[in-house]
Amino acid sequence: MEITVIASSSMDGGIGRWDLKTGNEQLRFKQCASPAHGLTAVGEKFIAASQLHSASGSSGSIFFWSWNKPQVEVKSFPVESITALVANSEGTYIVGGGASGDIFLWEVATGKLLKKWHAHYTSVTCLVFSGDGSFLVSGSQDGSLRVWSLIRLFDDQQRHQQQERTLYEHKFDEHTMTVTDIVIDYGACNALLVSASRDNTCKVWSLSQGKLLRSIIFPSEINALALDPGGSVFYAGAEDSNIYIGALNSSSDYYATEALGSVSDTRKPITCLAYCTDGNLLISGSEDGVICVWDTRSNKPVRTFTFGHGKGPVNNIQVVRKTIVGNSNKSQSSWRRNVVSSLPPPPLEKYERKGDDAMDGIVIVDPPPFANDVPVYSSYHSAGLIQEQVREIQQQGSAATEIEMESLKLEYKKSIQMNDQWQKNYEDLLQVVMEVELNGGSN
């Protein structure tokens, strides 16, 4: 497993890629000036970033780079400026939040715009997927957060029956200023969210209960968050150059003053954070272009390296784990999964398709006998992607056909497992509701 750090800047300094263990820069991707939360790894093959400006004069642009090539591979031009960008963990979908408050969801392999909806009254500032990819959380310039169920968003029948403003699962409006960052733990529907804001607070939310659990007040504005996977603390990068430590499970609201320290002697604001579970390392970026790697056990810096020779701020950092495949004995399973995804993706579509064509990519799976009369909506490969696969298989020959069949069998198995997990979540939730009703009735 290769662990690397990618980082970008709002200045046109490209995207840097470093070896986390040594701090050596491996590659510089050209032509990138991205906003905060505008950089994302798309699976193990690509990097994508929204752009603050476009040479074509378009109002918005998203660029794709292949992992080992410095030049831009694909340029897309959405209908508006994309202020936040995120891909799911598999790299099958990419989501952009617009300056208008709209959110766009694309399928990467085909470039198809699957969904667009109005999420916030002002610009979207950050986006994050839940650990299992079933929920999307968005934050806005007006201080609001929204939690979106992807299954519900793809349920067109429900969309017609209700107004779009009710499509969110939860709305959180307790922040009084811009939401600057969001992190979510690995608890799926029982996860905890932490949000940061320019109002000097971080707030902890329950995804299952849909409510605020506690609020932590800091001495300075918080620009960035990172979550310790142990689930007890989070890290908050502040405008005063400190990285503060906040407790997730405090019994009440409190003031947080414990800090790791300042990243550099220049005392510039912390602009972004990322956490690496391998070695329990925290990676921070600052306004003066310094990237620092911290040992969270000793609370001391391990190494630093500079982005853009200190000429601009680091406003995005991501830790990317990449599978290493040897040249002489390649892993067939890894190759099978990437027969098509290794090719550059097509440009992202500007507009959502209508009518029958809009359902391409959404499969309605009939429920088992005696189950509820509610169809289960799941995302699968669209017809466009399947056609791409067919063309690729035809070029590869019979051996590739056999390999791809094995890959499809694995995908089918994963889909069945996901369906079983959703059924279990539903049954657990139903049990909780019944217990609440019974307890309420006994009182």
Q: Which of 6, 51, 50 is nearest to 28 (CA)?
A: 6
| Per-residue pLDDT tens digits for 55-99 | 444 467 999 999 999 999 999 999 999 999 999 999 999 999 999
Name the 3-class secondary structure at 385: helix
Q: What is the pLDDT of residue 67?
A: 92
**Would you say 147 and 169 are in contact if contact means Cβ atoms under 8 Å apart?**
yes
Residues whose CB falls within 8 Å of the CB of residue 55, separated by 6 or more in sequence, listed in order: none
Q: What is the pLDDT of residue 388?
A: 56
Mean pLDDT, the chain, integer: 79
**Would you say 111 and 353 are in contact if contact means Cβ atoms under 8 Å apart?**
no
Higher pLDDT, 406 or 274: 274
For 295, other C-beta atoms within 10 Å of its C-beta total 15
| Per-residue pLDDT tens digits for 97-123 | 999 999 999 999 999 999 999 999 999
| Whole-number Å distance between alpha carbons of 107 and 112 | 5
Q: What is the DSSP string of 73-138?
A: -EEE--SS-EEEEEE-TTSSEEEEEETTSEEEEEETTT--EEEEEE--SS-EEEEEE-TTSSEEEE
The yes-or-no verdict on residue 438 having pLDDT over 70 is no
Residue 330, phi then psi, degrees to nearest 5: -70, 145
Provide CATH code, domain 2-322: 2.130.10.10
Listed range (17-31, 107-121, 302-316, 357-371) with the worst mean pLDDT: 357-371
Percentage of the chain exceeding pLDDT 90 = 44
* HSE value, Cβ hemisphere, 13 Å, CA-based, for 139: 30
Residue in the structure block whose two tokens are 């992807």: 150
Distances (CA, A) of 410 to 322, 336, 406: 20, 10, 6
Residue in the structure block whose two tokens are 């990819």: 133
Mean of pLDDT values over 301-329: 76
Q: What is the pLDDT of residue 102?
A: 96
Residue 198, phi then psi, degrees to nearest 5: -75, 0
Q: Where are the beta strands (DSSP E) in 221-269?
A: 222-227, 233-238, 242-247, 254-255, 259-262
Angle at 436 between CA 430 and CA 438, to 5 degrees: 100
Helix (H) or strand (E) holding 64, with range, is: strand 62-66
Instruction: Sketch the domain layout of the chain as residue ranges.
Output: 2-322, 353-439
Instruction: Give the predicted TM-score (pTM) of the model.
Output: 0.76
Residues whose CB falls within 8 Å of the CB of residue 3, separated by 6 or more in sequence, listed in order: 19, 20, 21, 276, 278, 319, 320, 321, 322
**Would you say 84 and 38 are in contact if contact means Cβ atoms under 8 Å apart?**
yes
Higher pLDDT, 275 or 361: 275
Instruction: Indicate the pLDDT class of residue 338, thresholds 50, 70 and 90.
Output: very low
Q: What is the pLDDT of residue 158?
A: 55
Instruction: Indicate the pLDDT class of residue 412, thresholds 50, 70 and 90.
Output: low
Instruction: Indicate the pLDDT class of residue 439, thresholds 50, 70 and 90.
Output: low
**Would you say 49 and 62 are in contact if contact means Cβ atoms under 8 Å apart?**
yes
Mean of pLDDT values over 189-218: 91
The yes-or-no verdict on residue 8 having pLDDT over 70 is yes
Instruction: Indicate the pLDDT class of residue 299, thresholds 50, 70 and 90.
Output: confident
* HSE value, Cβ hemisphere, 13 Å, CA-based, for 376: 17
Q: Which of 124, 139, 253 is nearest to 193 (CA)?
A: 139
Residues whose CB falls within 8 Å of the CB of residue 17, separated by 6 or more in sequence, listed in order: 4, 5, 6, 25, 26, 27, 28, 29
The yes-or-no verdict on residue 315 having pLDDT over 70 is yes
Higher pLDDT, 277 or 188: 277
Q: What is the pLDDT of residue 397?
A: 54
Mean of pLDDT values over 129-137: 90
Q: What is the DSSP letter of 310?
A: G
Record the tokens describing residue 280, joined without a space.
């329990």
Helix (H) or strand (E) holding 181, with range, is: strand 179-184
For 124, other C-beta atoms within 10 Å of its C-beta total 28
Mean of pLDDT values over 181-200: 89
The yes-or-no verdict on residue 275 having pLDDT over 80 is yes
Record the tokens describing residue 379, joined without a space.
């995302």
Mean of pLDDT values over 34-43: 94
Most confident of 155-169, 333-347, 413-427: 413-427
Q: What is the pLDDT of residue 331?
A: 38
| Whole-number Å distance between alpha carbons of 124 and 121 | 9
The yes-or-no verdict on residue 409 having pLDDT over 50 is yes
| Whole-number Å distance between alpha carbons of 28 and 16 | 5
Mean of pLDDT values over 152-167: 63
Instruction: Indicate the pLDDT class of residue 376, thresholds 50, 70 and 90.
Output: very low
Amino acid at 300: K
The yes-or-no verdict on residue 328 having pLDDT over 70 is no
Q: Is the dihedral of CA 205, 210, 213, 216 positive or negative?
A: positive
